[in-house]
Structure 1
Amino acid sequence: MSLFEHLKLIEDPRSHINLNHDLVDIIFLVLAAIASGCDGWQAIEEFGQENLSWLRKHRDFDNGIPTRHSIARIIKVIDTEILVMTLFSWANRLREASTKPLIAIDGKTLR
């Protein structure tokens, strides 16, 4: 399963009237922005605006990038435990596919 297929398993807690932006799009935006060094909601929004064409290579982003207030509000209502377990599950699938016993994220296996 891809990252996006894993993220689709997260329940969207928003009401039907607040679904202008796809939940998977928003989570992907936040993950990509954080991986790129962004450290706040405004920085995440700016990252999205500056990299929208790249983001659209991976997801639709039909309604563009949400405001920083919307991003924060949406991320804050997601069950953190489920998000973390989803990301762990995805990383574990990658590990299994590579037939490695573990994934070293600190670079020690490179030495």
Structure 2
Amino acid sequence: MSATFLKHFDSITDPRIERCKKHELIDILLLAISAVLSGAEGWEDIEDFGHLKLDWLKKYGAFKEGIPRHDTIARVICRLKSDEIEHSFQSWISSLIETTGADIIAIDGKTARRSFTTKDRKSALHTVSAWSCQHQLGVLRPSPRN
């Protein structure tokens, strides 16, 4: 994370009024992206992640006012320009690939509609695919049925 993350996300325009800024935008971005990459699935999950990982987050951001509430996180993130976030994220990931020399592995998962039955207690059919961009090679793995 550190300077690499901060450098790429520092250019995002903060849509808030100056007097309404209790938390730094870069801290909110660092929190939200770290939480989502760690599996957070909603605004409350992001806030919970922040409280659990505050010491780690403070290594990279100020967090002078602590962790923002989930409604604050949602309000700020929803007002950001999506093209700025996309550009910053792609730039950051590209820099990580250059630094590490690692390949990009695209992962996708699907659940087949109406593939489960409650009568037979069969779970839904899931498939996961992984694609190596560098080697143009993919793998498809269906889940076993109960």
TM range (shorter): 0.7 to 0.9
SS of the aligned residue for 2:93 comes to helix
How much does 1:94 deviate? 2.9
Aligned residue among 22, 26, 29 for 1:27: 29
Larger Rg: 2
* Structure 1 counterpart of 2:48: 46
Q: Take 1:55 and 1:31, find their aligned partners in 2: how far apart are those partners? A: 11
Q: Take 2:70 and 2:5, find their aligned partners in 1: how far apart are those partners? A: 23
Unaligned runs of 5+ in 1: none
Which protein has the bigger strand share?
A: 2
Q: Take 1:46 and 1:52, find their aligned partners in 2: how far apart are those partners? A: 10
* Structure 2 counterpart of 1:105: 105
1:1-111 matched pairs, under 5 angstroms: 2-98=4-100, 100=101, 103-106=103-106, 108=132
Unaligned runs of 5+ in 2: 107-129, 136-146
After superposition, the C-alpha distances for 1:18-49 in whole angstroms (9 at most, x for unaligned) are 11100010011001101111101011101101
Aligned residues between the structures: 108
How much does 1:61 deviate? 0.5
Q: Take 2:36 and 2:83, find their aligned partners in 1: how far apart are those partners? A: 18
Q: Over the residues paired in the alignment, what is the CA RMSD in angstroms?
A: 2.0
State, as a whole percentage, how many aligned pairs show the same letter. 34
How much does 1:93 deviate? 2.5
Q: Which structure ranks higher in relative contact order (CA pairs < 8 Å, sequence separation ≥ 6)?
A: 1
